[in-house]
Amino acid sequence: MKEQKTDLLIIGAGPGGLGAALYARRSGLDFIIVEKNMAGGQIINTNLIENYPGLMDNISGFELAQKFVEHCRKLDIEIQEYFPINSIEQLENQPDFSGNVFRSSGEDISIYSRAIIIATGAKPSRLKVRGEAELMGKGVSFCATCDGALFRDKVVAVVGGGDTAVEEALFLTNLVKKVYLIHRRDELRACNMLQCRAKENEKIEFIWSSIVEEFMGNEKLEAVIIKNKNNGKSMKLDVSAVFEYVGWQPNSELVKHLVDLDEKGFIATDTTMKTSKEGIFAVGDVRTTPFRQVITAVADGAVASMYIDKYFMEKG
């Protein structure tokens, strides 16, 4: 088992973790940043980023993530990709530091640190209805950017009424013949600009107040059964794909035994990104926050690193 020591371990290299790394470098902190997949976070699957200040030329999420990574490399920050951390423990009675010390372990490595930033993001929620598990990857998808091109000129559906559902439905209209947008209420949650665009798009047909009951198909998805909540009637929609965008589940398992979580499992923090456990911080989509945007995640990371600099000064 290899061992490494650092002042700060940043777990996750999405916008929150990368924002934290940039500010940790500026503060001259000794830190390591690890990412269990490829650096960039969820935005690498986002077709278009239109609301990051200064970037107004139709940049994709993948390109923006690359810019964040390039910026880190320019500051000699080494992002350790494909590096999963499997467990975190608090160590008792450590000398030379008046705060907590932690051991974060991967397959054959332990990293000892005085602070940790959890920037592990969130994963898509699932509808959990009949046929979903069997048809996953065979027409049931969580990523229009990844899978949309497989359904060129076909009829597909998107489930959800938030920014993601509407944005991805709009993206799909560039590829497919028609998109049913199935939402459980009769009004969208998405921002006004996206709502207007979707309502003007002739390829999108809204199916209001309806929930998905079942996915049907053998080798591939052929139809979806939906039920209208107002009249209780079910109907079958013939579709080649359904893209689910019904919210997110936090990736907070690593620290659920150490910090307070909210009722949905997101990590509770204060405005400095401190959690209930001294020395553990959380940023971006994994923490309880009213808004989940790239810009808010990056800002969380910056705040956490600036605060941690003060924290180390106080603790000696």
Name the helix (H) or strand (E) containing 4: strand 2-11
User: Catalytic pick from 146, 186, 196, 270?
Assistant: 146
Among 167, 241, 242, 306, indicate the residue that binds ligand NAP (CB under 6 A). 167
Does position 291 bind ligand NAP by CB under 6 A? yes
Give how many residues touch ligand NAP by CB under 6 A.
21
Bridge-based pairing of strands 109-118 and 280-282 is parallel
143 assigned to active site? yes
CA separation for the pair 125, 282 (Å, rounded)? 20
In the bound complex, what is the minimum distance in angstroms from residue 81's beta carbon to ligand NAP?
24
Among 100, 141, 164, 173, indicate the residue that binds ligand NAP (CB under 6 A). 164
Query: 61 vs 139, which CB is nearer to ligand NAP?
Result: 61
Beta strands in 93-246 (DSSP E): 101-105, 109-118, 122-124, 140-141, 155-159, 178-182, 204-207, 210-217, 221-228, 234-238, 241-244
Identify the three-state secondary structure at position 266: coil
Stretch that binds ligand NAP, among 4-12, 103-111, 156-164, 216-224 (CB under 6 A): 156-164
Q: Which residues contact 21 (CB under 8 A, 6 or more apart)?
A: 10, 13, 31, 33, 72, 77, 79, 301, 305
Does position 65 bind ligand NAP by CB under 6 A? no
In the bound complex, what is the minimum distance in angstroms from residue 303's beta carbon to ligand NAP?
18
Among 16, 148, 161, 250, indicate the residue that binds ligand NAP (CB under 6 A). 161
Does position 292 bind ligand NAP by CB under 6 A? yes
Q: Which residues contact 46 (CB under 8 A, 6 or more apart)?
A: 60, 61, 62, 145, 167
Show the DSSP H helices in 91-242 as ranges. 132-135, 144-147, 163-172, 192-200
Among 14, 139, 148, 162, indicate the residue that binds ligand NAP (CB under 6 A). 162
Among 51, 87, 234, 276, indicate the residue that binds ligand NAP (CB under 6 A). 51
Stretch that binds ligand NAP, among 27-35, 139-147, 241-249, 257-265 (CB under 6 A): 241-249
Binding track, positions 203-232, relative to ligand NAP; x by CB under 6 A = --------x---------------------
Closest residue by beta carbon to ligand NAP: 162
Q: Which residues contact 58 (CB under 8 A, 6 or more apart)?
A: 48, 50
Letter string b/e over residues 224-256, b meaning 16 or more CB atoms within 10 A of that residue's CB: bbbbeeeeeeeeebebbbbbbbbbbebbbebbe
> Measuring CA to CA, which residue among 6, 138, 10 is closest to residue 85?
10
Among 24, 117, 165, 204, indicate the residue that binds ligand NAP (CB under 6 A). 165
146 assigned to active site? yes
Does position 246 bind ligand NAP by CB under 6 A? yes
Residues designated catalytic: 143, 146-147
Q: What residue ranges bind ligand NAP (CB under 6 A)?
A: 51, 127, 159-165, 167, 184-185, 189, 211, 245-248, 291-293
